Structure 1
């Protein structure tokens, strides 16, 4: 019964033209896109000099194994999609050129999100730069917080301090501020 449950989770993926995989190589994230119709794995990377390592091959081998097990469990798997075969770990790989490049050491995850959002399978539907990514870094938390899919109703959140919260220390800051506000004094006293 357990096997049947995970097999049914695999099936929806077979109906897609593209499957996006966010992969991590050490401290760097990039995207691999499975294109079944072309038997191709496209690599979208914001630092092209950091080529994929074993993580890509291992992920593709795992996907191939799950797809084969799903086919063995449910015979209708073969009829429900247009995939030529399940040997994704043997398909060709194409590193996509002329993509936006990150200019810092901390934006790769944001580039991954934008690559997934704008990749059509042939090109980016919208061009972006590192400056756009920097703006997106600030916009993303708001988008997530106020998304209709967010189960927390932000508008109902209380702005009152939590009774169990540890109060912030203010004394040293207040004294310093007072000192700055009173001309000619060092300690804030008159």
Structure 2
């Protein structure tokens, strides 16, 4: 946990040069000369790039802002890195936000163009994700107990947790009113339940495991009922990252509280900086 002094330093940095109308401005958040970070560049372990603009961190730090794919991707990278640093007991890995949309795309090609599963399994991003060679601090799925998969459904973030041993996916959704979860997931269910297992079998996830391959069976979907609920329309990405962090540490997600989300934003920004 960052110290109070570190959190205060982050607050000063993020407010320095902030435009008065920053909340109304879509792109420009800082005065000229204040957006460029005058510190060592942050290396994004999700893709080897650099992040040297405060406006990128703005969406994480300030309430009322939606997290984009790169925010969640880097957040997951940081969780993998911390897990190795602190030697967490749970054997887990993660997928990036584009993984399930890519699996869905290949499933649709399989249905419409009869593209074989074996061809999808050779896709570099799919194959390297499942074999654990695409992301820093990642494990091969064959060696993991759980795979944490953030899913951006277009206007909402959901956390999918693949349980390798139990052959199921648990769904953590911070907005479950009016059957919203089913609506969010509807277009992904066939690829999640039927196509992902075929890819896992093709890439040997169960070859050395006692559970054996999935074959013609499918992954069960379990909607987690006791899931913390957001009280706004923008914090779903933060909920996904915080729920993943708690689960990785073996904690219950009930301790992720909406009233703490702003503190989580400050903590995450400080840790990433």
Pairwise TM-score range, normalised by the shorter structure:
0.5 to 0.7
Count residues with an aligned counterpart: 139
> Which residue number corresponds to residue 184 of structure 1?
none
In structure 1, runs of 5+ residues without a counterpart are 72-76, 146-190
Per the alignment, do residues 109 and 57 of structure 1 end up closer, same or farther by CA in structure 2, a change over 3 Å counting? farther
1:58 correspondence with 2:191: yes
CA contact (8 A) 1:23 1:55 kept: no
Specify whether residues 78 and 84 from structure 1 end up closer, same or farther in structure 2 by C-alpha distance, changes over 3 A only.
Answer: closer
Tell which deviates more after alignment, 29-38 or 5-14.
5-14
Q: Deviation digits for residues 93-147 of structure 1, max 9, x if unmatched?
A: 11111221000010000000011111269861670211111211122111111xx
Between stretches 55-64 and 136-145, larger displacement belongs to 55-64
Deviation digits for residues 52-77 of structure 1 (CA, Å, limit 9, x no counterpart): 22124324545334323324xxxxx6
Describe the shift of the 1:54–1:122 C-alpha distance in structure 2 as closer, same or farther (beyond 3 A): farther
Show the counterpart of 2:209: 81
Give the number of the structure with larger relative contact order, counting CA–CA contacts within 8 Å between residues 6 or more apart: 2
- Give distance in 2, aligned partners of 1:104 and 1:88: 41
Q: Secondary structure at the match of 2:227?
A: coil
- Rounded to whole Å, the distance in 1 between the matches of 2:251 and 2:234 is 24
| Structure 2 counterpart of 1:92 | 220
Determine which structure has more spread, i.e. the larger CA radius of gyration.
1
1:125/1:133 CA distance change after superposition, 3 Å? same
After TM superposition, the score normalised by the length of structure 2 is 0.44
SS of residue in 2 equivalent to 1:37: coil
Alignment of 1:140-151 (within 5 A): 140-145=268-273
Superposed CA RMSD = 3.1
**Alignment map for 1:107-118 (pairs within 5 Å):** 107-118=235-246
Moved over 6 A (4+): none
- Residues 139 and 56 (structure 1), Cα distance of their counterparts in 2 relative to 1, 3 Å cut: farther
